Amino acid sequence: MKAPDLRFQVDSRLATLLSQEYPSSERALKELIDNAWDADAETVSITLPKPMSDDPIVISDDGCGMTEEELRRHYLSIATDRRSRRGDRTAGKSRSIKGRKGIGKFAGLMAASVMILETRARGRLCGFTLRLADLATVDDIEQLNIAFYSESCSENQHGTTITLTNLHQGLAFPDSNKLRQVLLQDYGRQDDFRIAVDGKRLDVNDISGSYSEFDQDLPAVGNVKLRFAISDAKGGLRQPGITLRVDGKSVGKPSFFGLDKRDDFPPKLLRKLYGEIDADGLREHITAGWDAPVENSELLKAVEAYVQPILQQAFDIQYRRDMQLAQARLKKAIQARLAELPEHKREFADRAIKKILDKYYGEPESKLEPIVFVLLEALERSDYRLLLEHIADTGPRDVAVLAEGLNDFGLAEMAYLVEQANARSTFLSQLEKLVADDETTEVIMHRALERNLWVFGPEYSLFSTNMTLRRQVEEYLQKKYIGDKAVQRPDLLLNQNLNGEYLLIEFKRPSHSLNHLDYLQSITYRHDFAKHVSVPIRVLLIGGNRSHDFPSENREPEVSAATFGQVISTARRHLQWQLGEEFGR
């Protein structure tokens, strides 16, 4: 005997759980607005209840509405992807579909216990009421009987109205300002989708922050109206920038009128800008597709010249305010340490902290505090950097002050070099331990010395890493030293000094004695790399010792060899000379 077919059952609690997935009632209401967008609506009206009232939330749109068949087959079908039935875009206005999961219909139940839906399409008005209390009486949502009604209406009527009643008293009523902020992110730039909350259409001045408005007649352009806001929210806006409008239509994407091309302007600050500019005088300077203004338009340049200084001044005011607040918060956290600094150092600390805030604008204070603490540590230990700032700030005509600053710099320079020499002496002692260990490899020595070229003397310390050449060499190595030859890849460091010369250092392990093969290998590397650069390449070989067959004469020019012992001994003598001759020790 064949067993009866099985079917999935959907717990009636699902609707309640789905309605609770939204972080706020404002976000839940936006889900209902998304449905109006998908219905090709042009206008949406949202009415929120007054405080301490029993008024409902009413959301009404003039979209295409739904027929009785569409309500039964699609709307009341849970968790179905609309895109699988109708594609990624709407039928009328070819909008990108927002409703994807088929669960947005339950969003209103986050704020209310009762949801009434009425929709008009093709001469019929259809509607039903959904109550949370009814859902609690059944185990399977498919068993729920929904009171459905249908009647005739005018053929010209279309759209959907959702009424939410019996609002949950345990939650705060949706806030109109917060709702505007949420809706502006997605819909503030739309010309054909107008939203009004409590009778007021979404607008630039709904952005939480500082709002500015300017109106000016420009020669040849005519009247130009600029309206913008700078958000005071921590994060950036989803669609920042200034929208150009001509004859009421948006032209292209929002832009920053050149501020985004300035190196000294924090990009994170630009993400807080939101606004629009009306310039109907540009109508003859817009591309045929209405997707951008003509770039070389003189009238556009005139508008940009008018807008840029206004935006710059507004940002400067906002930026200074943000910096002052951030600096005050940081000072409060480090007040005790700042108080212990001499007054001239405190002034320097203020300037230095501002530079840190400039560079890391918008970063959390947890990231800024460690950087400021490092700065204070340096100020507490040495006046070296402070004197450099002092000299840099001295005017060229202030000869006496400049001379005094240079004298102070000399004292600080001496103290700094003593501290540096002592630190380098400790480094050399540790390097000797590496050299004495038979297990030390070329890779280990390379790692220890690649950023400490001072060990080889002042001449080599002039070299600095050249990333362009390094990329060339890496590309070259990938082509030449592959397969069985990969193990023969040179252990090298290529740098460039002030004269444009390159340096190739070939490290061998400290227990290895340099021999004739090592010499041939290093000059072969130089010949290979010389094909990629047009300047001289010097070669320095370093090992533990020299074999008898290492060439001492008839070597190619600019090829030097040294042992690690010689390098360390020479470096120590140089440090001793610094400490003895320079400082009288």
Q: Which residues of the chain have pLDDT under 50?
A: 1-12, 387-388, 391, 396-397, 582-585
Bridge partners (DSSP) of residue 213 are: 227
Using CA atoms, how far residue 527 sits from 401, 531, 536, in Å, is 54, 7, 11
Instruction: Check residue 446 and give its pLDDT.
Output: 79
Instruction: Check residue 134 and give its pLDDT.
Output: 81
In sign, the C-alpha dihedral spanning 218, 220, 223, 225 is negative
Domain boundaries, the chain: 13-197, 204-298, 382-436, 437-578
* Best CA proximity match to 348, nearest among 292, 284, 392: 392
| Side chain identity, residue 260 | D
- Residue 172 near residue 42, CB atoms below 8 Å: no
Instruction: Check residue 81 and give its pLDDT.
Output: 56
Please write down the HEC assignment for all residues of 428-482: HHHHHHHHHCCCCCHHHHHHHHCCCHHHHCHHHHCCEECHHHHHHHHHHHHHHCC
Instruction: Check residue 492 and give its pLDDT.
Output: 60
Query: pLDDT tens digit string along 192-224?
Result: 899 999 999 999 888 888 899 999 999 999 999
Q: Which residue has the tokens 């004695």?
A: 513
Instruction: Check residue 344 and give its pLDDT.
Output: 64
* Best CA proximity match to 421, nearest among 576, 585, 584, 582: 576
- Residue 434 near residue 445, CB atoms below 8 Å: yes
Domain 13-197: top CATH class: alpha beta
Check if CATH label 3.40.91 holds for domain 437-578. yes
- Residue 554 near residue 516, CB atoms below 8 Å: no
* Best CA proximity match to 34, nearest among 44, 23, 25: 44
